[in-house]
Amino acid sequence: MAKAWSLLLLLIILVFGAFVEGSHGSKLSQNYYKSTCPQVLSIVKAKTESTLKKKPRMGASLLRLHFHDCFVNGCDGSILLDDNSTFIGEKTALANNNSARGFELVDDFKAEVEKTCPGVVSCADILAIATRDSTVVLGGPSWKVKLGRRDSITASRADANKFIPAPSFTLSALKSNFHAQGLSLKDLVALSGAHTIGLARCTTFRAHIYNDSNIDPSFAKSLQHKCPRNGKDNIHRRLDLRTPITFDNFYFRNLLKKKGLLRSDQELFNDKSADSLVKKYAADSSKFFKQFTKSMIKMSNIKPLTGNSGQIRINCRKVN
């Protein structure tokens, strides 16, 4: 009898162990494609480097795509989906319409990967890898990208409008928005540092340069010449005046001078709780880089689809 109980107990332990191992196996891993598509990292890296050599601005576009993807129901490639008969997707949400770029580039990455590893690597993972690689190409830090995300089979413009932070947000609104994604004030400030590269449309900073007092007057006036109170909505200005295609800490130095282009940028240095972090990152780029990598890894792990959830889309723009 004792022997029978021992065998039963052993069986329970083995089954439970298998269950735990199976559950753990569905989590993201740096080596997820080690046996199924070991070339994926080199393929995406080579494509990213060749693209940014010709069009460095695309680095900011890829980073923004990944950010906007992760903030809407997790990092699942939903932002890449075109509208169809069952849903209106995220591409025409307020934060993305006539503004989000890089979709064709992700298509190119996917096509290259499909040649070597058909039906294996998700669009969400390709975007995560390309975001890291583009940051490095532009002079920023590198990090270990955890992989194993699967692609969403749906998207929601309504959710994109709800969850993607707006350039008009106050610090309080930004903190609440990031907290809802499990991200801290440190994450908020470090990830905002991505605005050290890229451009912004007149519509996103018009209110800041005409209505706010927390802005250098000469800076505001110079922008008003380019962005009038009415019209010229699609005029673009640099998020970082000095080094718009170099990933560095000048974004934070600009904030100290009250030269943040967006209201949501300057809110990070406005006599409030984020001031000390802005000062720290402005004084030491290595501290900014260190926190940025931690925060990017954390953000990239927001509610990924794994295991049997979602699918591996063959075409990033549509469900299989």
**Residue 74 labeled ligand binder:** yes
**Residue 293 labeled ligand binder:** no
**Residue 48 labeled ligand binder:** no
**Residue 248 labeled ligand binder:** yes
Write out the H or E segment, with its range, that includes residue 303: none
Closest to 260 (Cα-Cα) out of 215, 207, 218: 215
C-alpha angle 89-92-94 in degrees, rounded to nearest 5: 120
Dihedral angle sign, alpha carbons of residues 299, 150, 78, 101: positive
Question: Which amino acid, 7?
Answer: L
C-alpha angle 65-70-72 in degrees, rounded to nearest 5: 100
Alpha carbon distances (Å) from 216 to 66, 109, 177, 212, 221: 31, 41, 27, 10, 9
In sequence order, which residues have a C-beta less than 8 Å from that of residue 34 and are 6 or more positions away?
none
One of 24, 66, 68, 208 is an active-site residue; which one? Answer: 68
**Residue 66 labeled ligand binder:** no
**Residue 195 labeled ligand binder:** yes
68 among known catalytic residues:
yes
Write out the H or E segment, with its range, that includes residue 45: helix 40-54
Q: Round to whole Å and give the CA distance between 107 and 113.
A: 10
Question: Residues forming the annotated binding site?
Answer: 69, 72, 74, 76, 78, 90, 165, 195-196, 240, 243, 248
Question: Residues forming the annotated binding site for Ca(2+)?
Answer: 69, 72, 74, 76, 78, 90, 196, 240, 243, 248
Question: Residues forming the annotated binding site for heme b?
Answer: 195
Question: Residues forming the annotated binding site for substrate?
Answer: 165
Active site residues: 68
